[in-house]
Amino acid sequence: MPSLFRSRLARLSAASALVALLAAPGGTQQSTAPIARYSIDASTTSGMAAMGSGMGGAMSMMFGGGGSKMIHTLDLRLGSTRAPASGEPKADHFMPVGAKLGKSVPLVTPPPGTPAPREEDDKEMPRDFQKPKGRLLIFWGCGAKAPKGQPVVIDFAKVAAGEVPPGLFTSGVNIPADWAIRLANSKTYGAWPNGKDRKTVSAESSLIGEHRIAGNYSPEIKFSLAQDFMPAITGKASDIAGGATMLSWNSVTSATGYYAWTMGFNPGPDGQANDMVWWSSSASQNFGGALWDWIAPATVSRLITQKVVMPPSQTSCIMPAEVKQAASQFVMGNLYAYGPEANFAYPPRPADPKIVWKPEWTARVRYRSNTMWFINGPDMGGAMARGGEGSASSNSGDAPKKKKKCGGGIGGMLAGAAGLSC
């Protein structure tokens, strides 16, 4: 698999996206790169995904264990072309009162010498890597019956040996990776959450109001948000005639589009996963990648036209009977509601296209809502109701704990995507 090439291509696409952001309509206005870039990713997570990763959270949900109906998470990143004016790097995000995070949260800069995180695809194969066994069965499209030619069957052993069919996870639809602020592409970088702040985002937190980011390595950034966290999305599943499964969900305010996918297993005689079954709501063979990430509204609109993403007016999709037949045990559903995006810059873009635009800073706020639940398990809404809503929080101030890595190859990738412990 040309993973290194794919990773670098994604970075190139991300850089192109930033250039496009700065370019004027029609591409005639010249502009310079901003001194500072800031990003807020605001997510609403519900279902099993909100109860912690791994089988512990899964079992808790199955037996009506504790947890909240939904959680909010924030990912704050500041990147600058400047070094600190004096002393150590320091920056804070001053929040509106409704955020319930106090006066501000610190954007912590990694210590000098901290290696920039490498892209997953660039990592070397672990020494204890074991070739995955079994097969991957791929289905796609909404409908009671799988169309002719499905499933596409992939032998894990052949994949581990480098025999990957071309176009395995994409039908050729262009879904570029969005740009992101990283330690690697910033002279000075700060982020929250981090290991030095123990504040958490609650289910009652609100983003509406004035935001200010101030530090000693970037211009002061100020903007006001009128869009709050998106509502929670709740997935349900019901059997229908012929063995198919009706997936349905609530209409989410401000959603720009929806995407659903499921993963299931069919254990072999030894109890180990023999077949892994993957299904996507896309009308064409498109899986994972940017579809599991944040997607700009303009891109979502294009993907709706290409029938990769479902329109915001659609709140149901039939999973073909063959999918559940192939995954006799453990089928997990995933739903994404892509949301709006807000962009800010100072100074504003000149109205005269002949004037070169020289922004001091740009800021972007993205929104998303997602959920995860067992399709052949208990009703997610009922389990969450038994658990009670409580005071949900996320983004622990402790440094993120490293999860035990799954085996390499597509098998490990799928298990990791499901949030399962290995």
pLDDT tens digits for range 368-400: 999 999 887 544 444 444 443 333 334 433 444
Taking the C-alpha atoms of residue 19 and residue 50, their distance in angstroms, rounded to an integer, is 35
The DSSP line for 27-51 is G-S-B---SEEEEEEEEEEEEGGGS
Backbone angles phi, psi at 241, to 5 degrees: -55, 140
Taking the C-alpha atoms of residue 160 and residue 154, their distance in angstroms, rounded to an integer, is 11
160 strand-pairing partners: none
pTM greater than 0.85 (yes/no): no
337, 70 in Cβ contact below 8 A?
no
- Cα angle 314, 318, 319 (rounded to 5 degrees) comes to 130
Q: Is 302 helix (H, G, I), strand (E, B) or coil?
A: helix
Taking the C-alpha atoms of residue 146 and residue 280, their distance in angstroms, rounded to an integer, is 12
- Cα angle 241, 244, 249 (rounded to 5 degrees) comes to 105
Read off the DSSP letter of residue 357. Answer: B
The pLDDT, as a whole number, for residue 271 is 63
User: Which residues lie below 8 Å from residue 158, measured CB to CB, with a gap of 6+?
Assistant: none
The pLDDT, as a whole number, for residue 163 is 66
pLDDT tens digits for range 78-123: 999 999 999 999 999 999 999 999 999 999 999 876 766 554 444 4
The pLDDT, as a whole number, for residue 173 is 78
Burial of 145 (0-12, 13-18, 19+ CB in 10 A): middle
Q: pLDDT 10s digit of each residue in the chain, 422 long?
A: 334 333 433 433 443 343 344 444 445 789 999 999 999 999 999 998 776 544 444 444 443 333 347 899 999 999 999 999 999 999 999 999 999 999 999 999 998 767 665 544 444 444 554 555 688 899 999 999 999 999 988 887 776 666 666 555 566 677 877 889 999 999 999 999 998 998 999 999 999 999 999 999 999 999 999 999 999 999 999 999 999 999 999 999 999 999 999 999 887 666 666 788 999 999 998 877 889 999 999 999 999 999 999 999 999 999 999 999 998 777 999 999 999 999 999 999 999 999 999 999 999 999 999 999 988 754 444 444 444 333 333 443 344 444 444 443 344 444 443 444 44
The pLDDT, as a whole number, for residue 347 is 96
Taking the C-alpha atoms of residue 222 and residue 209, their distance in angstroms, rounded to an integer, is 11
Q: Residue 15: name the closest of 218, 170, 185, 221 by CA.
A: 185
pLDDT tens digits for range 222-237: 999 999 999 999 999 9
Taking the C-alpha atoms of residue 63 and residue 11, their distance in angstroms, rounded to an integer, is 42
- Cα angle 122, 282, 328 (rounded to 5 degrees) comes to 85
Q: Residue 92: name the closest of 244, 249, 197 by CA.
A: 197
Residues in the chain: 422
The pLDDT, as a whole number, for residue 268 is 67
How far CA 47 is from CA of 165, 335, 385, 420, in Å, comes to: 34, 10, 11, 15
| Chain position carrying tokens 């596409």 | 152
